[in-house]
């Protein structure tokens, strides 16, 4: 199978993403009233991020154990409403600490 050149992937994703953002801003002036569509659009980001995070997060580091610890740290801080930066940095720190300990065992 022939490999698709990178530039086609780039143009495809950039084009689709831009059209989604541009068309409503340029064309639509009224607010969406359809309750089902509004609800679907409300849930979509959370569903997408959840699917992308789980189970992939458990394979995002060298060890599943360190990933589990990083995930746990992220959830605890996220419940406490810490900023994105804080949560991400803490998860990385937890993974690093866990892997140093694992390396010493």
Partner 1 sequence: MTEQTSFIKGIKDGLPICFGYLSVAFAFGIFSYESSLSILQAVLISMTNVTSAGQLAAVPIITSGGSLFELAIAQFVINLRYALMSVSLSQKLGKTVSMADRFIISFMNTDEVFAVSSSNRGYVGRKYMYGLILTPFLGWSVGTFLGAGAGNILPAIITSALGIAIYAMFVAIVVPVASENKPTFYCVIIAVILSCIFKFTPVLNKLQGGFVIIICAVVASVIMAIVSPIEIKEEGVKDE
3-62: contacts with partner 1 (CB under 8 A)? 3-4, 6, 8-10, 12-14, 16-18, 20-26, 28-29, 31-33, 35-36, 38-57, 60-62
CA dist., res. 86 & res. 99, Å (int): 20
Out of 74, 101, 104, 105, which residue is the one contacting partner 1 (CB under 8 A)? Answer: 74
Burial 50-76 (b: 16+ CB within 10 A, else e): eeeeeeeebeebeeeebbbbbbebbee
Minimum Å gap between C-beta 105 and partner 1 is 14
Q: What number of chain residues touch partner 1 (CB under 8 A)?
A: 78
Give the position of tokens 């930066």: 85
Decide if residue 105 touches partner 1 (CB under 8 A).
no
């Amino acid at each position: 199978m022939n490999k698709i050149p990178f530039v086609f992937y780039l143009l495809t994703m950039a084009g689709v993403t831009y059209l989604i953002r541009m068309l409503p801003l340029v064309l639509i002036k009224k607010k969406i009233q359809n309750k089902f569509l509004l609800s679907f659009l409300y849930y979509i980001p959370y569903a997408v991020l959840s699917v992308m995070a789980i189970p992939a997060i458990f394979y995002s580091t060298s060890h599943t154990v360190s990933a589990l610890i990083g995930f746990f740290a992220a959830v605890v801080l996220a419940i406490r409403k810490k900023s994105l930066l804080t949560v991400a940095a803490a998860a990385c720190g937890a993974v690093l600490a866990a892997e140093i300990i694992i390396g010493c065992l």
